[in-house]
Amino acid sequence: MVPILLCLVGWGWSAGHYAEICYSTKTAGLICFAQSGTVGLEGGAGRRGSLGVSTFSEALPEGRSWPPIRVGTSDTDYGDHSYAGFSFEYTHTADDWDIWCGVPFWFLIIVFSAVLFFVWRKTRGGVRAAAAFPVEVAATARHEDTTT
């Protein structure tokens, strides 16, 4: 339940803000970011910000709660390969490499909800006759008759 709530809050907050958590060494870096209904991960050779862990956050002038279907190539691009909020980009040169991927919050909410549903279905207890509706008791009795 907590991951679903975190995704809902993150989705609402990312509509008007950009936030990132960055970890950088002398030779490589990793950034986790959220913006416009998308959470993403970027990594590559070269430093990303200051050494160690750093954070950055800013309000977006034009908020958007839904990721774009497909964006052209520009400074605000979501990747060369993007559709409905999913995005992926990989660039490689002789001395540098960069990988970038993004997943929309709506997809994470669906995945976490499905996991919660299947865990709930597999872990719920059996029907107690004293606490059940008469229809459930009758259905349980019919099921037991057919299995014996």
Which pLDDT tens digit goes with each residue over 78-111? 555 677 778 888 887 777 788 888 899 999 999 9
User: Residue 73: which pLDDT band, with cuts at 50, 70 and 90?
Assistant: very low
Instruction: Record the tokens describing residue 36, joined without a space.
Output: 């416009």
Instruction: Record the tokens describing residue 109, joined without a space.
Output: 């909410």
The end-to-end CA distance of the chain, in Å, is 39
97-104 and 52-59 as β-strands: parallel, antiparallel, unpaired? unpaired
Plot region of 134 (φ>0 → left; ψ -120 to 50 → alpha; else → beta): alpha
- Residues spanned by the domain of 9: 2-147
User: What is residue 115's predicted lDDT score, i.e. its pLDDT?
Assistant: 94
Residue 24's SS3 state is: strand
User: What is residue 29's predicted lDDT score, i.e. its pLDDT?
Assistant: 86
User: What is residue 72's predicted lDDT score, i.e. its pLDDT?
Assistant: 43
Q: Poorest-confidence range of 3-17, 19-33, 76-90, 116-130?
A: 76-90
Residue 112's SS3 state is: helix
Q: What values do phi and psi take at 135, rounded to 5?
A: -65, -40
d(CA 144, CA 140): 6
Q: Which of 80, 82, 31 is nearest to 55 (CA)?
A: 31
Tally of domains within the chain: 1
Dihedral angle sign, alpha carbons of residues 135, 137, 138, 139: positive
Average pLDDT, integer, range 110-138: 76
User: Per-residue pLDDT for 28 more than 90?
Assistant: no
Q: Poorest-confidence range of 10-19, 86-95, 132-141?
A: 132-141
User: What is residue 107's predicted lDDT score, i.e. its pLDDT?
Assistant: 92
Which pLDDT tens digit goes with each residue over 47-71? 666 788 988 889 888 777 666 554 4
